[in-house]
Structure 1
Amino acid sequence: MDIICSLSLLFIQENNMTEVSNFFLLGFQCSQNIRIFLFCLLLVVYCGTICGNLLIITLVSTSKNLHTPMYFFISQLSISDILLTTNIVPNMFHILLKNGGTITFIGCMTQFYFFSTSVASECFLLTVMSYDRYVAICNPLRYSSIMTSGHCMKLSIACWLVGFSLILINVFTVSNLNFCGPNTIDHLFCDFLPLVGISCSDTFIVKLEVMLLSIPSVIVPVMIIIPSYAKIVFTILKIPSNINRQKVFSTCSSHLIVVSIFYGTLFTVYVVPTQGKTLTMSKILSLLYTVFTPFINPVIYSLRNKDIWKAVQETLIEHTCCHNP
């Protein structure tokens, strides 16, 4: 009898260890009216994000006045924002309309990879942008010789390559975890914490790996950005003329706002202890981080930037002249 019970228990354990081939994303479990409202809101924000970032990329590539290192890096940031939202939002539409949605294991890992890559690359791009502003304000005489077009291109390529490479290590480890049920992810997309939460493997190594990878991808950039802006502020405060001081500060204020929003949401989602946050609150914070931040970035850069507005006006004038000879 004991042998039969032992064999039955072994069979149950083996059956439970059967790896899942897909996951079910719950999304927001709420009424249909609220989900339709969220769908319409996200659709407007997504369209605004794509149009705003594409506008910046187009203007920077076509307008000669914007062929500078600062705007080149802004266009790279726009590419990262488009990658982030396009990777997350279309599937989120399906989840909202169907009150949940299934995603394959490969699809989940792919979404997790490109989501994490865009975040890591944005960390590096914001760091390079702070360095660009540091050189422009604190060492203006050498700016043109340091921030050459070739140097900017190398920095940009390095940001993308390092981001893709670092995240590939993490995704490879996560994909080798055992997921033996349940396969339900109570989240909006495939993110690290929800995936680790449903794994039946020992996740200590994976969590330790993420902590180690966060040092070059998050901690080091923050340690570069903060001293850079401290030095920038100190330099600006030494400018005797109040008008010149405001003019110089306006060249980096937009970037400072973007950095604050990006790292503010990043640390709120992943660093602040999760015990005090409900699942709904975590989803809302993730929504702000993955959807609304890429929408706000081009708005900040366009509304607070006279060069962008000037390029828009010149483009409209050229377009009008071409159609009305």
Structure 2
Amino acid sequence: MEVVTAHQKTGALKAAIELGLFTAIGKTPATAAEIAARCKCPERGIRILSDNLTIMGFLEKADSRYSLTPSSAVFLDQNSPAYFGSAVKFLLSPAITEAFTDLASTIRRGSVHTSEQGTTAPDHPAWIEFARSMGPMMGPAASGAADLTPLDSARDTRVLDISASHGAYGIAVAQKNPRAHLVALDWEAVLAITEENARKAGLGNRFSKIVGDAFTVDLGRDYDAVLVPNFLHHFNLADCTRFLRRVHAALRPGGRVVIIEFMPNADRITPPPAAEFSLVMLGTTPEGDAYTFSEFQQMLNDAGFSDTTQHSLPSSVQTAVIAVA
């Protein structure tokens, strides 16, 4: 029953974010009438929603007043620098949710039931929303990945960020390596967001971009590092290996590829947050999956890399896989 009715809880949280309910409460406990006035809504709906958010653990209630829990204050109040509400807009966008309305058809057909290419289609609009909303969530993991990507401080270096999106990973590397030039690759509309974020991060003239399909566009040469965050899971093993050969050719000898992925253990059911990601790929991509470390090792070996290692990332369910060209 919890699984079957889970959409009701999702809908309640989504409504609260869209109404600005958590921000309306803020640091001061408030009654349903006070919250309703701030949200410009009738009291009945706000009371019922607030009671259910309390049951779900997002609010606390005492003497008919509602207050934020510590977690809600950090992640759901728009005044918090760690506000998560913008990410919800992407995670609950039609491009993601519609993939699960008829998952049986996808499984029967062996292909995505909503469209031929799913979210891997060129210039898919979902990635604009992803770039706008998901960057703040990536901060700790991006910083951890940058720590794993030290560059030669005695000379100018070059870093390529594949499917750069919000640019969090590439920007983190460039900020920790003052002589690094960041090259971001993505679709044109997405790169406008990447470039804006790079400018805000103070990269100035240390940023350039490549527009196009990562499988076919000219990647350039002599990079010291190539970042591949949250990209390979969209494709099958053969296509991943083919792409990694392109990355190998773009790196200077001794350069490194840094892959960020949801990586399950060999049993494919642990750890749950990483292993469950395969279901997202089943619903939204033609042939994507969540790959194990041994599968990444094989892909990288076949692409010409060596010394493949895995590293946990702070405040993240994802893993960094690093190999040397």
Query: TM-score if structure 2 supplies the norm length?
Result: 0.20
Query: TM-score if structure 1 supplies the norm length?
Result: 0.20
Decide which structure has the larger Cα Rg and report it.
1
Q: Which has the higher strand share?
A: 2
Q: Which has the higher helix share?
A: 1
Q: Which has the higher contact order (CA 8 A, sep 6+)?
A: 1
